[in-house]
Amino acid sequence: MTKKLYWEDSYMIEFGARVVTVNENLVELNQTCFFPVGGGEPYDTGKLITNGNEFVVSDVSKSGDRILHKVDKEGLKPGDKVKGVIDWERRYRLMKMHTTSHLLSSIFHNETGALISGGNLDLDKSRIDFNLEEFDREKFTGYVEKANELIKQNAQVKSYFMKREEAMKIPGIIKLLEALPPSIDNLRIVEIEGVDIQADGGNHVKNLNELGKIEIVKLENKGKTNRRMYFTLT
């Protein structure tokens, strides 16, 4: 199992680790702050450094409870000690996008009961799909304006773990159409104090005031109950 340092501190930029396995250009470490693609959040990029040699990390993925780093060349071997350095500008932008998606999904859920049917985070613009019958562009604009007002209130964002049995008693803890697998006993919770609480495994900012301003890029009607919104941060 790879220890997930990003769960301990999403602001961690550098870390030390030991190579566990190497399979061609896929490297497993005993611990990492590189986030693997998942839950709509893209993977981190960066580099692994050992003995003056740099190995560019271009992709990070999960294989069971292991996290695999795709590097640009051979040379690493099991037992090597490395320093990992993530591309902070990329990570921080995605963190802000992820927290924004939680803020928006909370407002839409509270106002309409809508759940998230899909989504994708990206650097320039991100997407959320809502399971919602009504498609009222003015209301969408109003919900985003409400989110921008909440940003100004400087709510703290925190994460912690909770037993699944207790977490599932919290209304709105799951805002996805598909429930989490029953095998997950301890859920990681991300809470925007006074605003939202969701089960989530991704990276987030510490305070809403870090987000800036949310702007709608495009709204689309994708079907009978699928409403799509692209947004960005300025």
Distance CA 181, CA 184 (A): 6
Q: How confident is the model at residue 157 (pLDDT cuts 50, 70, 90)?
A: very high
pLDDT at 179 over 70: no
Q: What is the SS3 assignment for 174? A: coil
Average pLDDT on 125-140 reads 94
Q: Which two tokens stand for residue 125?
A: 């613009």
Residues 6+ apart with CB under 8 A from 31: 2, 3, 4, 5, 15, 17
Say if residue 56 is in the same domain as residue 101: no
Domain CATH code at residue 7? 2.40.30.130
Say if residue 65 is in the same domain as residue 107: no
The residue from 71, 86, 101 where one domain ends is 86
Domain CATH code at residue 113? 3.30.980.10
Say if residue 99 is in the same domain as residue 65: no
What's the domain count of the chain? 2
The residue segments making up the domain with residue 40 are: 3-86
Residue type, 8: E
Say if residue 127 is in the same domain as residue 142: yes
pLDDT at 48 over 70: yes
DSSP letters, 49-105, are EETTEEEEEEEEEEETTEEEEEESSS---TT-EEEEEE-HHHHHHHHHHHHHHHHHH
> Closest Cα to residue 126, out of 211, 6, 9?
211
Say if residue 69 is in the same domain as residue 138: no
Q: What average pLDDT does the structure give for the chain?
A: 94
Q: How confident is the model at residue 185 (pLDDT cuts 50, 70, 90)?
A: confident
Say if residue 102 is in the same domain as residue 29: no
Say if residue 116 is in the same domain as residue 49: no
The residue from 86, 112, 132 where one domain ends is 86
The residue from 56, 86, 116 where one domain ends is 86
Say if residue 96 is in the same domain as residue 177: yes
Question: Which pLDDT tens digit goes with each residue over 63-102?
Answer: 999 999 999 999 999 999 999 999 999 999 999 999 999 9
Question: Which pLDDT tens digit goes with each residue over 112-132?
Answer: 999 999 999 999 999 999 999
Task: Evaluate whether 123 touches 94 at the Cβ level (below 8 Å).
Answer: yes
Say if residue 76 is in the same domain as residue 98: no
Say if residue 80 is in the same domain as residue 116: no
Residue with tokens 């899909």: 118
Return the pLDDT at 171. 87
Say if residue 33 is in the same domain as residue 102: no
Q: DSSP state, 176?
A: B
Looking at the DSSP assignment, which residues form a beta bridge with residue 32?
A: 4
Say if residue 115 is in the same domain as residue 67: no
